[in-house]
Amino acid sequence: MTAAVLTPPSIRQEDLRARRRTAPAPATVKSTLVGVSETMLWTLYDRACEARRDDGILVDPDSVRICDAIDYDFIGHFGEPIGAFAARAAEIDQLLKRWLKRHPDGLIVSLGEGLETQARRVDNGRMRWLTVDLPDAIELREQFLPSSRRFNHIAASVFEPAWINGIESGPDVFIVVQGLFMYLEPETVKRLFIQVVKHFPGAEIAFDVIPRWFSQLTLWGINQTQSYRLPPMPWGINSDEIAALLHSWSLDIAALSVLEYRIPRGWPKVTEDLFRMNPLTRRHLPCLVHMKVRQQ
């Protein structure tokens, strides 16, 4: 297999920012993604735009490189980015970096990550990373982030048992489910959650959720721009309901935290800050869940 291009941990953020400005333009790849798979371009675009900023909250030259290489009308479909997906990714980055200090040779399994470059941002030179995604997503991902000895891809539905049965359970596993659960039916989320918790005692899990009101909007039908309608997001839950629901799904949750991630600037940030100031409205904002599975 072709070796992946990895960023050595010793490179400073200033060097990474300089590299992203001077990197040669890659060959153009045309995207044929549709439906939920197309949303990986939305999150990629948001991260890349944030990484291009001198005041950006995310250092991510790989996202810039990939975004520049894809022939796609990003702004026409998704509009001006606000940095929300970059903020979400940065918060999960911090969770993973802290975990890797305790498990430097650990395995991180990322479900449905599309063109996320998180593995490159958190790499300590020793960890292992497994991406599980649909075949069309993996085919596109391989063009930019080829698999290697430590970075592997499985082209399969996350509901197929082969990927989960092929991983040895233990505390040296971290499961990331970023930008996936909201696109599933509630019963499907429950089934996958229970399956992961049951198979990985001692593991840690991080995933994001959207609030109920936004889920309902997508079911009614809402456009991001005139050219792009958001796909339905059937699973939404308010932040103050999460703990009770997950504990009702499984008795094997040892610890659980609900975490915020914040839009970095502008009027979207002002609006979000106003929501956070009121306990009655802050529950209606997107958030992250970080949990540890009980060791059996």
Q: Which helix (H) or strand (E) holds 74?
A: helix 74-78
* Cβ(118)–Cβ(174) below 8 Å: no
First to last CA, the chain: 37
CB-based burial of residue 231 (10 Å sphere; 0-12 exposed, 13-18 middle, 19+ buried)?
A: middle
Domains located in the chain, CATH noted: 13-22+35-78 (no CATH), 84-293 (3.40.50.150)
Q: What is the pLDDT of residue 28?
A: 84
Q: Considering Cα of 72, then 267, then 176, then 163, what sign does the dihedral take?
A: negative
The CA distances from residue 222 to 186, 219, 233, in Å, are 20, 8, 11
The CA distances from residue 262 to 39, 48, 59, 142, in Å, are 20, 17, 16, 31
Residues 213-268: tens digit of each pLDDT: 999 999 999 999 999 999 999 999 999 999 999 999 999 999 999 999 999 999 99
Residues 134-182: tens digit of each pLDDT: 999 999 999 999 999 999 999 999 998 889 988 887 789 999 999 999 9
d(CA 64, CA 281): 35
Measured in residues, the chain has a length of: 296
Between these two residues, 192 and 167, which has the higher pLDDT value? 192
pTM (predicted TM-score): 0.88
High-pLDDT (> 70) share of the chain, %: 91
Mean pLDDT of the chain: 90
Residues 173-182: tens digit of each pLDDT: 999 999 999 9
Q: What is the pLDDT of residue 135?
A: 94
Reduced to 3 states (helix: H, G, I; strand: E, B; else coil), residue 73 is: coil
Q: What is the separation of C-alpha 31 from the centre of its chain, rounded to a whole number of angstroms?
A: 20
